[in-house]
Structure formats: C-alpha cells, structure tokens
Structure 1
Amino acid sequence: MSPNVSEFKTLVQRFYVLQSERIEAYKLFEEGHEAYLRTGPHYDFDHYRQLVHEITQGFSGISKEVLEIKERLHQEFDRPDLSEHIDKLQCKEKQKLELTAKLQLAKQSAQDHPEDERCQEKILEIRQDIIKTKEALSEVLQDFKYDCEE
C-alpha cells in the first residue's frame, strides 16, 4: 500500500473524527442553553456567554482543520470532488449553527412570553429548518463517503 493511500485514509478518518466532535459540541451547546433557560427569569448570562465563547472556539477550531483537510484533498490528492463536498458541508454546518442560535433565542422568548403563541410557531418553524439542514448534511456526508470509496 503506497503511503499516499494510507495518508488519504488517515485524512478521511480525521475528517470523520472532526464531524463527531462537531456533533458533541452541539450537544454541549444544547445542554448549556437548557441550563441557561433554567436560570430564568433572572438569567445567568455571564455563565452562558462563557459557554458560547468556548463552543464558538471549538467550532472555529474544527472548521479550520476541516478546511485544511479540504485543501489537502484538493491539492495533494487531486480530489476536487471531495473538497467540493466539504465546501457544501461547511456551508450547511454554518446554516445549522445559525439556526441553532435562532432556536435558542426563540426558546428564551417563548419562556419569557408564554402567552404569545407566535413564539411556539417560530420554534416549530426553526426546528423544521434544522431538520432539513441535518438531512442535507447527511446527504453531503453520504456523497463524500461514496466518493471516498471509489
């Protein structure tokens, strides 16, 4: 087996590890937000802001490394198809993060204004968008996996 093949496999495996780290970061983000909501109505914003800062740094580090992998797949391994999948993935991940932040704001708004039915509608709407984004992410990952195996 040429070092290129094993390097390629190592790179792809690292990419998958980063994706699972991203999923873990989302779980922490979600749990942290739930904990934050439990501090209402006098929210512990400082604690939550610190969490957001740490999560943001985590996502940023993951993204940076994913982009390095994308670049290497394109340049060193001549796999523009795979780097294109990573581009799409990064775009969808950005959407998912933005939607997650919107959902958190909507949940807080719903908690602060329980009489306002629009808040619940907004939450459902955003959740639907997150589901669609996750489905799109899954498709991109499937395409990536399929093309890696060729």
Structure 2
Amino acid sequence: MSFLELSGIVVMSAAEFQKVLKRFYDLQDERAQAYKLFEEGHEAYLRTGPHYDFEHYKLLVHEITQAFSGISKEILEIKRQLHEDFDRPDLSEHVEKLQFREKTKLEQTAKLQLAKQNALEHPDDEDCQEKIQEIRQHIIKNQEALGEILQDFRYDSEEPE
C-alpha cells in the first residue's frame, strides 16, 4: 500500500481510495448476484412441493448465508477504512446505513419466501396473498432507500475533499 505523508499525518493515496471504492461496488454486485441465486433457488425449492426438497434448499440457504456474511465483513472493513484511513466519515455513514438496509432486505426476503410457501400450501387463503403483497411493498420501499443511499454514496465519493 502506498502512503503519502503530509504534515506528519499519514494519508492514503487517491489511487488507494479508488481501489477501495471499486471493491465496494464489486461487493454490491456480488450481493446482487447472491440475491438472484437465492431467489432462483427458492423458486426451484417451491417447485418440489408438496414434498419439498428441504435438504437441498437448506444447503442453498447455508451457502447464501456464508456469501452474505463474507460480503458484509468486507463491507464493514471498507467502512472502517473510509472512516479511519481516508478520513471520510460521511462515506462511512452511508455504508452503515446501507448495511442496515441490506439486513432489512434479507429479513424481508426470508419473510417473502415463507409467505410464498404458505400461499402454495393454502391456495384458498386470501390473507396469504395479501401478506405477500404487503411484504413486497416493504421490499420495494427498502430497495428505494438502498438506491438513495448508493446514489448519495456515489455522489459524495466523487466530490473532492
């Protein structure tokens, strides 16, 4: 890692900053791909009903959980770097908000998957469909908030300090 020393303060280079930003965006792309696999895997699981292939789905959930955990650890390290190494608490705060929203998204996704399975098992229960729509609305609102946070992050990271 290259460092510039200015007035006795160690500061990371602009190139290192860009490298961290690129990794951040790459991790966000990895997270999006993990969600896609999670959703596709759940759809495949639902097609195995009424005698669901739970063992296969449990393995998928384990793998996805590990992927999300690894991504989150790296994102938290980037948050630390932005705050401590680059003296960008504004960007660090965006990452903190993003992590909260991503956690919420994962929880809502799990609720939606359970609601979809419940609807398949109880096709005449209108409450099941209402519950699915309610959860989808929460997911949409959360996704909009995620988009705003990422937009703020992108805008603020392009501003010269």
Length-normalised TM-score, structure 1: 0.98
Aligned 1:117-136 pairs, distance under 5 A: 117-136=126-145
Greater share of strand:
2
Residue aligning to 1:78: 87
Residues 1:104 and 2:145 aligned together: no
Q: Which has the higher contact order (CA 8 A, sep 6+)?
A: 1
**Which of these residues, 72, 78, 85, is aligned with residue 63 of structure 1?**
72
**Which of these residues, 151, 154, 160, is aligned with residue 142 of structure 1?**
151
Residues 1:116 and 2:125 aligned together: yes
Residues 1:53 and 2:66 aligned together: no
- Tell me, in whole angstroms, the C-alpha distance in 2 between the residues paired with 1:4 and 1:88: 26
- Tell me, in whole angstroms, the C-alpha distance in 1 between the residues paired with 2:64 and 2:155: 30
Give the CA deviation at 1:4. 0.7
2:35 maps to a residue whose letter is Y
Give the CA deviation at 1:37. 0.1
Give the CA deviation at 1:65. 0.1
Residues 1:28 and 2:28 aligned together: no
Aligned length: 149
Q: Deviations over 1:39-89 (max 9, x none)?
A: 000000000000000000000000000000000010000000000000000
CA-atom RMSD in angstroms: 0.8
SS in 2 for 1:78: coil
SS in 1 for 2:13: helix
- Tell me, in whole angstroms, the C-alpha distance in 2 between the residues paired with 1:43 and 1:131: 28
List structure 1 segments (4+ residues) > 2 angstroms apart after TM superposition: none
- Tell me, in whole angstroms, the C-alpha distance in 2 between the residues paired with 1:126 and 1:84: 27
Length-normalised TM-score, structure 2: 0.91
Question: Greater Rg, structure 1 or structure 2?
Answer: 2
